Chain A
Amino acid sequence: MSSKIKLVVIGNGPVGHNFLEYLVESGQSENYQVTVFGEEPIPAYDRVHLTAWFETQSVDDINMVSDGFYPNNNFVLHTGDKVTKIDRFKRVVISEAGLEVSYDKIIMATGSYPFVPPVPGHDRDNVFVYRTIDDLEKITAAAKTSKVGAVIGGGLLGLEAAKALMDLDLQTHVIEFAPRLMAVQVDDGGGNMLSKKIQDLGVSVHTQKNTQNIGDGDSAFHKMSFADGQELETDIIVFSAGIRPRDELARQAGLGMGARGGVVINNNCLTSDEDIYAIGEVALWDNKIYGLIAPGWSMAQAAVDHLTQTGTSEFTGADMSTKLKLMGVDVASIGDAHGTTPNSRSYTYVNDREEVYKKIVVSEDDKYLLGAVLIGDAAEYGSLLQFMLNKMELPSEPEGLILPSLDGSSSGIGVDALPDSAVLCSCMNVSKADVINAVEAGANDMSTIKACTKAATGCGGCTALVTQVLNCELEKQGVEVNTDLCEHFAYTRQDLYNLIRVGKIKSFEELLEKHGSGLGCDICKPTAANILASCWNDHVLNSGLQGIQDTNDYFMGNMQKDGTYSVVPRVPGGEITPDKLIVLGEVAKEYNLYTKITGGQRVDLFGARSEQLPDIWRALVDAGFETGHAYGKSLRTVKSCVGSTWCRYGVQDSMGLAIKLENRYKGLRSPHKFKLAVSGCTRECAEAQSKDFGIIATENGWNLYVCGNGGMKPRHADLFASDLTEEEVITYIDRICMFYVRTADRLQRTSVWMDNMEGGLEYLKSVVIDDKLGLVTELEEEMAAVVDTYQCEWKTTIDDPEKLKRFSHFVNSKSHDDNVIFTTEREQIRPAVISERITEQA
């Protein structure tokens, strides 16, 4: 066996890791004996999404390394160990921990470090940078005892750091030396609009400020003094004043360097030593450092191709256009954003009401797009970028590309017009042809496209465009996705909803007769029951509706594995008087029910036989309880924390709002169950961000989060709007709820609904806040109708002998089901398992 080539990878950041993935993909990795050094204590994580770490403070969300990747490929990874020397003469690398590893080839992927200008006081305590998880941990710890935070640097990363400080509940300042924010990527008009939007969010922006000294503060930990004589007091400072390549190792090894740093590479990413490659942010190509991830990945691919001779790709520069969301604000910059091309023309659209700024820069003859800046709404990013990259001829009045179209149709290009070679996803270098090939090979939805082409898995900026190409191709192939609800209805749930609402259909028979076939089934019947309830809110056991309810809805209890039911009275917000608590205990005792506190802040009584349900509920209703709808596809609970009434940290009355919301939405039938929670402060004891609607108190009101989920596939809720009044919270939830009821699929939680919504959160905002579809009055009225017709289903039922008939187990006998057998465990009943039944019956 020929001996393997010894390959040492220095740096285990995103680019170094991607190099290894490409190496495996090349099929050549077995010919290499790979040793990897990473200075950070954990394996590669996705630095682009570093800020996501705050959400869970766990690296899991941004981990880049799939399970077993290193051991399975026999790659040796030394984390927490820095390479301190490359000895090109002895051909070894030496690490801080004292390891000495010999090499045939080296991949240098050491990235960059944040530049901290030598301002006096820059080395004080509570001064940080924003680059690694370690940095974030330190900032989080310091924030616990701080009130004010300042970021020095108003570029892309500075604003991201500012968002983090704001989320840590610090009063946040951004200090920028230049006259505007994001000076590199956007022009004056765009920078001003961006400032305005960011100030709206509560961040103070200070431009043209040159920090000259950092010393002790009076009211806060530091005092910053600026060249113009002004001062600012702050507890925390984060420097974000640019990055510098981490080229100290290359310098030590004597490799060719740029005048201002960076390791010089050629198109194959080789340095001046033909056994050493450099990729990512440490590399200098054509005198340029690329501070973005996509060029790093192209370099990694070029290096693999050259090293293994399995491909021919080269790194020949990269487009630096970017689209991102900073504090929820869309910002995009394309090509020559500043219009520096001689004789170029520009067109600008400014909308102060909606705080949108758009500019395009075109060639002298109006034919070609050279650059663009989009602030506040970057929907056109994808198509504008394609115009520029593919040098496509612009329409005759190019300004139309950024003007809002009054009829609601979208301007821009038809994706069909794009050449096959057009790169749709620059992060992953996926062309239109790649997507078409994938569709031809059978991919017919975005998740499959993502899995097989990797398109849209980086920054996500290309998602809309890739989806359009996908849909266009599917259409061309005549592929029709069957979205029929079931064999009885050739409609989606949304279609049925509209048919029922518009046709004023009140029963399943009518629906089946007009729009369906056959007898119906256990899919369409409950779906219809659910929609009928959302629309008309009649009692579930009204004649005509009974036969289509799921058994849980019919018996108004959840059927357990042995055919008995659970009883869950509503306890709004989880608040309950001792007297009521005693009633629950007494009822449970009388009927010998297993009693448990649920995960939803209420009490569940298990083991009731169907014929016992009416008596149990009579006792509960008499004591003032209502049904908890644990059985319905409807509101479950509004989880609460005790809030400002008792808690020393609470800033609003979370208890009061939780109870109000629970009483408002109780009984509303929806495509799937939905849950709310209200926390009294940012400590979030009610876990609101895991709910369909989460409300968190702020000093100024309430922040509303939407479309979170626990359960099988957890999803954090998205921030929908900030600092709302109670009335605004209710209005928005009303609207979103009814929009969900209208448009979601059967058994689709809000989380999945959101993930499948074209345009996502921004689209939902445009519908709910800006009333883009002209729907909000209707939605509010529909909700009001449901709220006004609320009845406790159990209360109505126990008063109606007709409705009670079916609760007895036998139609012709008063006996019980003798197959329901309990045994005792921890002093309570539980269903007996088979072996226990035999002995008990014997």
Chain B
Amino acid sequence: MTTENQQWFDICNIDDILPSMGRCALFNKQQVAIFRILDQQGQEQVYAIDNYCPFSESNTLSRGLTGSITDKVVVASPIYKQHFDLNSGSCLEDESVSVKTYPVRLNGSIVQLAV
């Protein structure tokens, strides 16, 4: 997904996001939900998906609870509780629905998003 010639933008410090939680960032007029998660291998990972929840039609995904369902790292929509795969953006309960994912990385302690 991420390629060398992508342009990365600083968004925030990793400490602005609490462990295993999400925050919403304003990026290119988009609301992006960024999550900070210690994955099952014990690695600190960041994920970025749309903040917009297609089920409730509200900007709320960054406020959902994160976790794992089998081998997938997910966030649960805080309103109607559907799960979204943080890697692919697809909804576990309804295959036909998915949200956009964004290139995201940790550069030192800085969280960066790319176009």
Which residues from chain A sit less than 8 Å from chain B, CB to CB?
487-488, 518-522, 524-526, 543, 546-548, 550-552, 554-555, 559, 561-563, 610, 805-806, 809-813, 815, 817, 819-820, 834
Does B17 belong to the interface (CB within 8 Å)? yes
Report how far A809 CA is from B23 CA in the complex, Å: 8
Task: For A525, list chain B residues within 8 Å (CB).
Answer: 65, 67
- CB-based contact A813/B26 at 8 Å: yes
* Residue in B24, B40, B60 whose beta carbon sits within 8 Å of that of A519 in the complex: B40
- Taking A487-B69, A519-B66, A563-B63 as given, write out 18 further A-B residue pairs in contact, using a Cβ cutoff of 8 Å, ordered by the A residue number: A488-B67, A488-B68, A519-B38, A519-B73, A522-B65, A522-B83, A546-B18, A547-B21, A547-B66, A548-B20, A561-B79, A563-B60, A806-B23, A809-B24, A810-B23, A811-B11, A819-B59, A834-B57
Taking CB atoms and an 8 Å cut-off, the chain B residues in 31-60 that contact chain A are 31, 34, 37-40, 52, 56-60
Task: For A488, list chain B residues within 8 Å (CB).
Answer: 67-68
- CB-based contact B37/A550 at 8 Å: no
Which residues from chain B sit less than 8 Å from chain A, CB to CB?
11-12, 16-21, 23-27, 31, 34, 37-40, 52, 56-60, 63-70, 73-74, 76, 78-79, 81, 83
**15 pairs, A vs B, C-beta closer than 8 Å:** A487-B70, A488-B68, A521-B68, A522-B67, A525-B65, A547-B18, A552-B78, A563-B58, A563-B60, A610-B63, A810-B31, A813-B26, A817-B59, A819-B59, A834-B57
Most buried by B among A518, A550, A552: A518
- CB-based contact B78/A559 at 8 Å: yes
Report how far A610 CA is from B24 CA in the complex, Å: 12
Task: For B23, list chain A residues within 8 Å (CB).
Answer: 806, 810-811
Task: For B64, list chain A residues within 8 Å (CB).
Answer: 522, 551
Report how far A518 CA is from B39 CA in the complex, Å: 9
Task: For B39, list chain A residues within 8 Å (CB).
Answer: 519
The residue on A at minimum CB distance from B19 is A547
Report how far A518 CA is from B67 CA in the complex, Å: 8
- CB-based contact B37/A519 at 8 Å: yes
Task: For A546, list chain B residues within 8 Å (CB).
Answer: 18, 21
Q: How far apart are B100's CB and chain A's nearest CB, in angstroms?
A: 15
* Residue in B16, B70, B79 whose beta carbon sits within 8 Å of that of A805 in the complex: B16
Task: For B19, list chain A residues within 8 Å (CB).
Answer: 547
- CB-based contact A521/B34 at 8 Å: no
Task: For B60, list chain A residues within 8 Å (CB).
Answer: 551, 559, 563
Task: For B76, list chain A residues within 8 Å (CB).
Answer: 521-522
Task: For B58, list chain A residues within 8 Å (CB).
Answer: 561-563, 819
- CB-based contact B79/A559 at 8 Å: yes
Q: How far apart are A477's CB and chain B's nearest CB, in angstroms?
A: 29
Please judge, given known A-B contacts A547-B19, A559-B79, A811-B34, whether A521 and B74 are in contact too, CB under 8 Å. Answer: yes
- CB-based contact A811/B78 at 8 Å: no
Q: How far apart are B36's CB and chain A's nearest CB, in angstroms?
A: 10
- CB-based contact A810/B68 at 8 Å: no
Task: For A817, list chain B residues within 8 Å (CB).
Answer: 31, 59
Report how far A522 CA is from B66 CA in the complex, Å: 7
Task: For B67, list chain A residues within 8 Å (CB).
Answer: 488, 518-522, 524-525
- CB-based contact B68/A520 at 8 Å: yes
The residue on B at minimum CB distance from A521 is B67
Report how far A810 CA is from B22 CA in the complex, Å: 11
Report how far A597 CA is from B27 CA in the complex, Å: 40
Task: For A526, list chain B residues within 8 Å (CB).
Answer: 65
The 7 closest A-B pairs by CB, nearest first: A521-B67, A522-B76, A519-B68, A551-B78, A811-B23, A563-B58, A522-B65
Report how far A551 CA is from B75 CA in the complex, Å: 12
Q: How far apart are B52's CB and chain A's nearest CB, in angstroms?
A: 8
Task: For B25, list chain A residues within 8 Å (CB).
Answer: 810-813
Please judge, given known A-B contacts A487-B70, A806-B23, A811-B12, whether A518 and B63 are in contact too, CB under 8 Å. Answer: no
The residue on B at minimum CB distance from A529 is B65
The residue on B at minimum CB distance from A837 is B57
- CB-based contact B21/A522 at 8 Å: no
Report how far A562 CA is from B79 CA in the complex, Å: 9
Q: How far apart are B8's CB and chain A's nearest CB, in angstroms?
A: 14
Report how far A811 CA is from B27 CA in the complex, Å: 11
Task: For A552, list chain B residues within 8 Å (CB).
Answer: 78
Task: For A805, list chain B residues within 8 Å (CB).
Answer: 16
The residue on B at minimum CB distance from A550 is B65
